[in-house]
Structure 1
Amino acid sequence: MGKTNLDLIRECDNFPYHEDNRAAYTETLNNYHAFRVNGFDATLGYILNSVVEKFPWPKSYWVIDSGAKTVTLNTPADATPEYRSKLVAESISEAVKADVFEVLRGWRNENYPVWGPGGQLILDMERCASPLFGIVSYGAHMTCYVQDEAGFKFWIPRRAKNKQTYPSMLDNTVAGGMCTNEKPFECIVREAMEEASLPESSIRSAIRPVGCVTYSHIRDARAGGETGLSQPEVEYVYDLKLEPKVIPKPGDNEVEEFNLLTVQEVQDALARGEFKPNCSVVIIDFFVRHGLLTPENDPDYLDILSRLHRRLEYPLASHC
């Protein structure tokens, strides 16, 4: 028997819920230290205990409290984001030199922001290091489709087999992470040009923002590098209806090919577990919004709706 829609959501949103199973939540949380920054009363992420033990923390500005299970960047409360970012970058650089983490071998030269209470930018860090600190990352995903009397068909890419993360798995038509100071809409436009060779002039006015999905993921081996890393995410979601003559084409080395699949073909691929976990969630969200997944055809409908939008326990950004 294949995976159900709820199975796929649980596979992505797999950090236990305190409300559902306090014992499982507590047991899982015991595997992590809370990442904090001096001057902010908030947990900004969860760092795996084994990462805490192996990371070469400079003692001049990091405080490790094994009893409280916290890792604190001990900068002045009035330090600037630039200063905090500089110290974090230096720390990550030392870890790269020591070559103690596989995820740091996939250097991206892109920075991800860390937001504090009230949407205040605290610092940013190299993208590939973000799972080590367990910070909330932000991205944008878009489903491109054609529609006629026969129904929906979806442009589905297959990830390159040499990608560090989720190689050869199926993906959303366009998807990418949001760097510091990048807005969701500009991110998806950029990714549409880079990944699918879709022309900016014809898609800007046609892309529809349709919400977001949120989840808290614990990485497995398919993500590449260390397993067990905490990765909470906010993914802004977009739809783009294409004319039949418009065909996405790989624009970089991240995608091998695009194929136009029917609803049934997508559902079958979902059931076989061929999609990257968070891409399954975005596809399911599309099915709900367009009436392809209903209370009448899925017994888990209410659970699915609630699990598409997890309330994350970290400060979040407003991209207004």
Structure 2
Amino acid sequence: MARNYSSLDLVRHCDAFPYEKTQPAEFTARMKGLVPVEWSDSSTNTAAAYLIAYMPRTVADAFVTIPKPELEAMGLASDLDLQTAIESSNKFPLRQLLHLQTTEPARTATLARLFQYWREANTFKVLRGWRSELWPVYGQNGELLFSVERAAIGLLGAVRYGVHMTAYVQDAGTGDVKIWVPRRAADKSTYPSMLDNTVAGGLMTGEDPFECLVREADEEAALPEAVVRANTQSVGTLTYIYITDERAGGESGYISPECQWVYDLPLPAAVVPRPKDGEVESFMLCSVAEVREQLAQGLFKPNCAAVLIDFLMRHGLLSGDDESAFETIASRLHRVLPFPGPHNNS
């Protein structure tokens, strides 16, 4: 029998991390497998430390086993009793480990050596998906603390940033909407063959969200730059905390706080997206009824389902009249993340 997911089911799948206030037992159980990562503006004064990520305990354990000579070669502090520090505070003292590195580029280089060390040792399957793309991690004042290889950011559990765009065609006479839906390539390392948003991509360090979108629109969908720049509408952000499964590439259970800048692109019928860089297998122009059926069957990549539900809500194609959980869905698509970053300014 075909699955029949509700909109709330799909949003809960995307925003899967339990809420401390409303799900205390589930939150406590989940946190047993995690170590909050702390940062402070000083490596010696930890009184003002703040949270920047949720690290899996398996990763913290891997840190503990790195020999001192290797730590020194990477540029990490070797004089810190890391296991005792974690056990005594139930926090991961990343700032103290990196105290020898006083600039963002130096911290980025040190962490690159660390993740390369684990990659060569095949310590974590997720590093097999190495992309040579740097993703940002921010401090409480909006400053860039360091950048991390895309495939490794789940090892820290830090916030990921990206862009998602829904391109659609609207009949001038009837007002009926059709949405351009791509199918991901079967050889993609993450979520192969699942349905996606028209254009989506990760935001690299220093990249402007809209410029990232323009780049991805060309690379993934061969959409003319002039059309994208002239017609794309910025419609805000979505924030949630996802928990990865095997489809994300590597082990399941990584914590993935995410902020997605969301865009709509009304297209004339003559402009047709087409695959270009091999990321997408094909594009389909689907009616709203077809998209809702695809959502109900669980065919979309989880965060893409959330973006489409947001699209349907904003365009009056899904309302409180036909969705009793409308307010809950809206709230969970705009979760307050407990970590610093530009999502707090969006």
Query: Which of 223, 228, 247 is 1:203 aligned to?
Result: 228
SS in 2 for 1:44: strand
* In 1, Cα distance between equivalents of 2:109 and 2:28: 33
Q: Is the 8 A contact 2:38 2:92 kept in 1?
A: yes
**2:30 aligned residue:** 28
Distance in 1 between residues matched to 2:318 and 2:123, nearest whole Å = 44
1:78–1:252 Cα change, 3 Å: closer
Identity of aligned residues (%): 44
Paired position in structure 2 for 1:215: 240
From 29, 45, 48, the equivalent of 2:53 is 45
Note the 1:212-251 alignment, pairs <5 A.
212-251=237-276
Of the three residues 108, 122, 125, the one matched with 2:131 is: 108
1:138 pairs with 2:161: yes
Superposed, which structure 2 residues align to 1:49-68 within 5 Å? 49-55=57-63, 57=66, 58-60=70-72, 61=76, 63-64=82-83, 65-67=85-87, 68=89
What is aligned with 2:114? 91
Whole-Å Cα distance in 1 between the matches of residues 186 and 92 of structure 2?
Answer: 36
1:120 aligns with 2:140: no
Separation (CA, whole Å) in 1 of partners of 2:33 and 2:248: 19
Question: Any residues of structure 2 matched to 1:155-174 within 5 Å, and which?
Answer: 155-174=180-199
Q: Quick one: which amino acid aligns to residue 16 of structure 1? A: P
Whole-angstrom CA distance in 2 between matches of 1:16 and 1:171: 25
**Equivalent-residue separation in structure 1 for 2:276 and 2:101 (angstroms):** 43
User: Cα distance, 1:265 vs. partner?
Assistant: 0.4
Matches within 5 A, 1:272-283: 272-283=297-308
Distance 2:189 2:60 in 1: 23
Contact kept, 8 Å, 1:32 with 1:69, in 2: the verdict is no
Give the secondary structure class of the aligned counterpart of 1:105: helix
Greater fraction strand:
1
CA contact (8 A) 1:158 1:171 kept: yes
Q: Which digits, 9 at most, give the CA deviation of each residue in 1:44-95, with x for residues without a partner?
A: 1111112222356454425443312333232338811111111111111110
Query: What is the aligned counterpart of 1:295 among 320, 326, 331?
Result: 320
1:156 is paired with a residue of what secondary structure?
A: strand
**Bigger radius of gyration among the two:** 2
1:71 to 88, 92, 101: 92
The structure that is helix-richer by fraction is 2
Per-residue CA deviations over 1:115-147 (Å, capped at 9, x if unaligned) read 010111100011110011101010000000000
**Could you tell me whether the CA contact under 8 Å between 1:215 and 1:233 is conserved in 2?**
yes
Moved over 4 A (4+): 55-60
Which residue in 1 is equivalent to 2:284? 259
SS at match of 2:106: helix
Seen in structure 2, the aligned counterparts of structure 1 residues 105 and 78 have a Cα distance that, compared at 3 Å, is closer
CA displacement at 1:19 relative to structure 2 = 1.3
- TM-score, normalised relative to structure 2: 0.89
Count residues in correspondence.
320
Task: Tell me the TM-score normalized by structure 1.
Answer: 0.96
In 1: Cα distance, 2:227 partner to 2:252 partner: 41
Mapped to 1, the partners of 2:291 and 2:277 lie a distance apart of 24
Report the CA distance between 1:38 and its aligned residue. 5.0
Match of 1:180 in 2: 205
Deviations 1:296-317 (A, max 9, x none): 0111111111111000000112
Pick one of 16, 19, 31 that aligns with 2:18: 16
Contact 2:40 2:50 in 1 (8 A): no
**8 Å contact kept, 2:238–2:333:** yes
Check conservation: 1:39, 1:77, Cα contact below 8 A: no
Q: What's the C-alpha RMSD, in Å, of the aligned pairs?
A: 1.7
Q: 2:35 aligns to what SS in structure 1?
A: strand
| Structure 2 residue identity aligned to 1:89 | A
Please give the secondary structure, in 1, of the residue aligned with 2:51.
coil
